């Protein structure tokens, strides 16, 4: 998305209009309340908008919602055009948001790291240091120890 304020305002408006239209006016049973609009980005020339969404459900539900959004694209674009009042209504592209999946992957990685940390803690519970209790023995102490052994 461009850094200009007009593009930011239009992107926010598109997100709100699409979400409201999906909730209230689009009667496609594939969409229902399973889809959430998470973000919208628009190009600097205000011609193309990318709408990110998440779906609650499995892969079959995601495929159904994607097909439903693609079929409702014209209605949603018309609603955006009516609400925005711009000379050219941006074309809409719907992209599944990867954020929930990435968050799930991170949670799995954190769980594995906790398990490995716990394994290391259990393995080191009764272990001694490899070089003794004080591995930083001074040279004088070492010489004194060596003389006692002789």
Residue 121, in any domain of the structure: no
Burial 66-97 (b: 16+ CB within 10 A, else e): bebbeebbeebbebbeebbeeeebbebebebb
Residue 131, in any domain of the structure: no
Residue 142, in any domain of the structure: no
Residues 6+ away with beta carbon under 8 Å from 46: 6, 7, 10, 86, 88, 90
Measure the CA–CA gap between 81 and 84, rounded to whole angstroms.
5
Task: Tell me which residue range forms the domain holding 86.
Answer: 5-98
The domain that holds 35 is classified in CATH as 3.30.300.20
Determine the Cα angle at 69 with ends 88 and 2, to 5°.
Answer: 40
pLDDT tens-digit profile of 66-122?
Answer: 888 888 898 899 999 999 888 899 999 999 987 777 888 888 999 999 999 999 888
Instruction: Output the pLDDT for position 4.
Output: 84
Q: Which helix (H) or strand (E) holds 74?
A: helix 73-84
Instruction: Output the pLDDT for position 50.
Output: 93
Q: Which helix (H) or strand (E) holds 18?
A: helix 5-24
Residue 118, in any domain of the structure: no
Q: What is the tally of structural domains in the chain?
A: 1
Residue 14, in any domain of the structure: yes
Residue 45, in any domain of the structure: yes
Residues 6+ away with beta carbon under 8 Å from 91: 47, 48, 49, 77
pLDDT tens-digit profile of 32-51?
Answer: 777 888 899 999 888 999 99
Note if the pTM is more than 0.75.
Answer: no
Residue 139, in any domain of the structure: no
Higher pLDDT, 91 or 61: 91
Which residue, among 60, 89, 64, 62, has the nearest Cα to 77 in the 3D structure? Answer: 89
Instruction: Output the pLDDT for position 111.
Output: 92
Residue 127, in any domain of the structure: no
């Amino acid at each position: 998305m461009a850094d200009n304020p007009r593009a930011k305002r239009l992107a926010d408006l598109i997100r709100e209009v699409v979400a409201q239209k999906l909730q209230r006016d689009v009667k496609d049973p594939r969409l229902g309340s399973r889809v959430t609009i998470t973000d919208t980005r628009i190009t600097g020339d205000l011609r193309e908008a990318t709408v990110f969404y998440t779906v609650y459900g499995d892969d079959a539900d995601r495929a159904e919602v994607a097909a439903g959004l693609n079929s409702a694209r014209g209605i949603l674009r018309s609603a955006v055009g009516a609400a925005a009042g711009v000379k050219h209504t941006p074309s809409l592209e719907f992209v599944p948001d990867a954020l929930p999946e990435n968050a799930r992957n991170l949670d799995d990685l954190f769980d594995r790291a906790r398990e490995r940390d716990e394994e290391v803690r259990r393995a080191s519970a009764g272990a001694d240091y490899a070089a003794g209790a004080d591995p930083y023995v001074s040279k004088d102490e070492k010489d004194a120890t060596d003389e006692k052994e002789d």
